[in-house]
Structure 1
Amino acid sequence: MRDGLAGLTLRGRAFLAAGVTAICCAVLLGQSTLTRIGVLVVALPLVSAFVIGRRRYALAVTRSVHPRLVAAGQPARIDLELTNAGRPSAGAILVEDQVPYALGTRPRFVLQGIARQWQRRVSYQVRSDVRGRFEIGPLTIRIADPFGLIELRRMVPGVAPLVVTPRTVVLPRIPVMGGWSGSGEHRPQAFAAGSAEDVSVREYRRGDELRRVHWRSSARVGDLMVRREEQPWEARATVLLDNRLRAHRGQGLGSSFEFAVVAAASLVLHLDQHGYAVRLVLADGSGADETSTAVLERLALVTTRQTAVIDVGWTGDQTRGGLVVAVLGGLEQRDSIALRQIRHDAGTALAMVLDVEQWAGRAAQGQPGPSPSVAGLGWRTVTLGPRDRLDSAWRDLGRASGRAAAAAGVASTRGGR
């Protein structure tokens, strides 16, 4: 009874107030008929509270999400397996699953004829245009009487995660050079002269282990030489995402940062599908070798950071001779040092530079072009605005790579002559 009275609705409270008022007026005026009416009005919510309060449900829910990882704009299916281990009841209950606002409206189901060991399976779809990680649940049960006087809400614990990854764009295949590297060594080059022993050693680099120093070659050359570690070659690529807050403009889904996240996700999928071992690196230097699925899940949660400059602590043997594709926001002159270091270690360096002033609502002065701080450091660049297509920009980078490869071939031919 106490639980039922705690669930009185506005209508139920109005009935109680009207009934008590009618009884008081009947006593003062000596109207016995009005007394009976007042008692009836008061009794109706009290009886409803007694009946609803006696209902006991032991509902349990098992929630599953298919798929657990979904791209923004794509639907996901939520399956609910409901079971009742409590007493049977002929009443109807309203079931509502709690979902975040970004996933749409809350689904509701009316369940009737709940018996002991009762089971029911229901499904619904959710969809989000916003990337992120969302918790679905818990389940809310609403029990009400036919007159709308009593309404009880009970929570069924249990949640399930749904990860919404960024949208991706299918990119065309382009000729990319310098993507092949070994795990710890760059691709060996042929020597014009020298013994086989010379081919198996290289110059010492900072960070090399001393046990790999080849003392005989070091004494002959006059500099420290270390033995190469012959390992299987694999295609390695690094996608650099500039997530500095100061480098982007705009708000929400229409910001330059969200455009950059979509570009990075598209690049990760494209390079992974073409045999590259891809890793994602942020402007603060954080990154790791992960699968493409793990990288997309990481991109679903990435945010801007108060980082001043691009950290280059991640460069080294893993990027030396390999492919680096950077998605950059607004650049400053002091970023040239980091970009020069990255270009020095990479075999091929491609950059998508966002004209962030267009996202701020300010049109660029003159014809847009590659940022001098990037193109002047040996990067192959393309500039994008909010209305530009990623696939077209990637194709333009491919043409630049092809011209660079042709120029390198002509130079090597002339050198051979």
Structure 2
Amino acid sequence: MREALAGLTVRGRAFVAAGLTAVVCAVVLGQPALTRVGVLVLALPLVTAYVIGRSRYKLALVRTVAPQLVAAGQPARVNLTLTNEGRTPNGVLLLEDHVPYVLGTRPRFVLEGIGHGWKRHVSYQVRSDVRGRYEIGPMSVRVSDPFGLVELGRAFRTTVPLIVTPRTVPLPGIPLGGAWNGSGDNRPKAFAAGSAEDVTVREYRRGDDLRRVHWRSSARVGELMVRREEQPWQSRATLFLDNRLRAHRGQGIASSLEAAVSAAASIAVHLTRRGFTVRLVTAAGEDRSAAWHLRDADLNGAALLEALAVLAPVQAPRLDTGWLSEQAHGGLTVAVLGAVEAFDAPVLRRMQHHTDAALAVALDVDAWTGPGTGGASPVLAQMGWRSVPLRPRDRLESVWQELARTSTRAPQRAGTR
């Protein structure tokens, strides 16, 4: 009851004031008829507050978002379905859905004529230019009586996620591995060349089925080895993204980091559609949520895009190398790099040594805040990488095509034939 009295609207409080005034005037002037009118006016909001305070509304809400995975700058539609499962009729519902400010203003709706079994569908549109994972909701509801005298607040606690992925652009098809492995195949193999035993067994990795352990080889080597003959011969690619804060310039969506994330997302989708099993590695190490042995079998790299959507910069000064010790030699590595410092050189050389083909898109990060310096592309070329620079006004499709031309002109690595 106390909550209902606190929910009196301006109209309800005016009724209370008018009723009290009429009763006082009737007593002073000796008008019994005015007393009855005052009591009626005073009782109306009080009885309404009592009834609403004692009522148990059974409002149900179903919220859906379509699509739930959307690219930055693209709209998504939120659909709401409200039903009144109780027997107490409502006068007016005032709805307000809570959304993060980057998705736009909070939508508000006014619904009337709510009775038992009532159902209503409403929808609104959201859009964000900033990638990330956002929670839509909860919904706050203001319940009003038919006379508009009392208004009570209710809230639904449920929320639904909306994942805004980085912007992607379609990339042209270019030779990715044939120029280095001498096979003429543009998709480098996942396994390196070696002896017959090397082809049939490999070291145990987390997630492998223990039933595939080859105990004879394990006893000889001294560590768990698993059979390879049951694995499909599949092209693998490692996508490396340098997300260190010190390696990038600029702020917000106009920073070089956001350009690097968008470039990595476009490359991930391109490689996935080319048939590669792609894993994401950042400056902090391998992203387990988007690792190739956990990746969903889709053609658009949804798992990789979700991981890139929530990717945050790290404060670490140096690149993590733990994932290199677990990586088998061979395959394709595509790196999207920011500023490269002297202590990064050994890590980049080691990465290049662990792959059949090493491609890099090197951002000229200084161009995001002033005159560019050309980026790290020449330094990477000296390490054996096939790299091209990327500047703020460059089109990624053209840069990717230039990477193909650079690769064609580059000499073959030592040891290839």
TM-score band by shorter chain is 0.7 to 0.9
DSSP 3-state at the match of 2:73: coil
* Structure 2 counterpart of 1:271: 271
Alignment of 1:404-415 (within 5 A): 404=410, 407-408=411-412
Offset at residue 308 of structure 1 (A):
1.5
Confirm or deny that 1:389 pairs with 2:400: no
DSSP 3-state at the match of 2:318: coil
| Equivalent-residue separation in structure 1 for 2:116 and 2:233 (angstroms) | 63
DSSP 3-state at the match of 2:5: helix
* Structure 2 counterpart of 1:246: 246
Offset at residue 98 of structure 1 (A):
2.1
2:196 aligned to which of 188, 192, 200? 200
Unaligned runs of 5+ in 2: 182-186, 205-213
Code of the aligned partner of 1:397: L
**Larger CA Rg, structure 1 vs 2:** 1
Q: Identify if the C-alpha distance between structure 1 residues 388 and 63 changes in structure 2 by more than 3 Å, giving closer, same or farther.
A: same
| Equivalent-residue separation in structure 2 for 1:302 and 1:86 (angstroms) | 45
1:324 aligned to which of 328, 333, 348? 333
| Equivalent-residue separation in structure 2 for 1:412 and 1:54 (angstroms) | 82
DSSP 3-state at the match of 1:334: helix
Code of the aligned partner of 2:365: V
Alignment of 1:12-411 (within 5 A): 46=46, 49-50=49-50, 52-53=52-53, 56-89=56-89, 91-144=91-144, 150-177=150-177, 178=181, 179-182=187-190, 185-187=191-193, 200=196, 211-212=216-217, 232-287=232-287, 288-289=291-292, 290-291=295-296, 292-315=301-324, 318=327, 320-359=329-368, 361-365=369-373, 368=374, 370-404=376-410, 407-408=411-412
Q: Following TM superposition, where does structure 1 have runs of at least 4 consecutive aligned residues deviating by more than 3 angstroms? A: 8-24, 30-33, 35-56, 144-150, 206-215, 226-232, 316-319, 369-373
Residues 181, 320 of structure 1: 8 Å contact kept: no
DSSP 3-state at the match of 2:403: helix
Unaligned runs of 5+ in 1: 189-198, 219-225
Number of matched residues?
382
Offset at residue 57 of structure 1 (A):
2.0
| Equivalent-residue separation in structure 1 for 2:71 and 2:219 (angstroms) | 51
DSSP 3-state at the match of 1:327: strand
Code of the aligned partner of 2:370: R
* Structure 2 counterpart of 1:8: 8
Offset at residue 3 of structure 1 (A):
2.7
Residues 91, 146 of structure 2: 8 Å contact kept: no
Residues 200, 228 of structure 1: 8 Å contact kept: no
Code of the aligned partner of 2:313: T
Offset at residue 294 of structure 1 (A):
1.2
Residues 180, 187 of structure 1: 8 Å contact kept: no
Residues 339, 375 of structure 2: 8 Å contact kept: no
Q: Identify if the C-alpha distance between structure 1 residues 329 and 23 changes in structure 2 by more than 3 Å, giving closer, same or farther.
A: farther
Offset at residue 49 of structure 1 (A):
3.7
CA-atom RMSD, angstroms? 3.8
Q: Identify if the C-alpha distance between structure 1 residues 158 and 234 changes in structure 2 by more than 3 Å, giving closer, same or farther.
A: same
Code of the aligned partner of 1:200: A
| Equivalent-residue separation in structure 2 for 1:157 and 1:141 (angstroms) | 11
| Equivalent-residue separation in structure 2 for 1:89 and 1:381 (angstroms) | 68
Residues 237, 319 of structure 1: 8 Å contact kept: no
| Equivalent-residue separation in structure 1 for 2:21 and 2:256 (angstroms) | 64
| Equivalent-residue separation in structure 1 for 2:304 and 2:39 (angstroms) | 68
1:18-42, CA deviations, whole angstroms, 9 ceiling, x for partnerless residues? 9879988x79xx6789x98998986
Residues 87, 116 of structure 1: 8 Å contact kept: yes
* Structure 2 counterpart of 1:223: none
Q: Identify if the C-alpha distance between structure 1 residues 276 and 227 changes in structure 2 by more than 3 Å, giving closer, same or farther.
A: closer
TM-score, normalised to structure 1's length?
0.78
Offset at residue 78 of structure 1 (A):
2.1
Code of the aligned partner of 1:115: G
Code of the aligned partner of 1:402: T
> Could you tell me the percent identity over the aligned residues?
53
| Equivalent-residue separation in structure 2 for 1:187 and 1:274 (angstroms) | 22
TM-score, normalised to structure 2's length?
0.78
| Equivalent-residue separation in structure 1 for 2:371 and 2:41 (angstroms) | 70
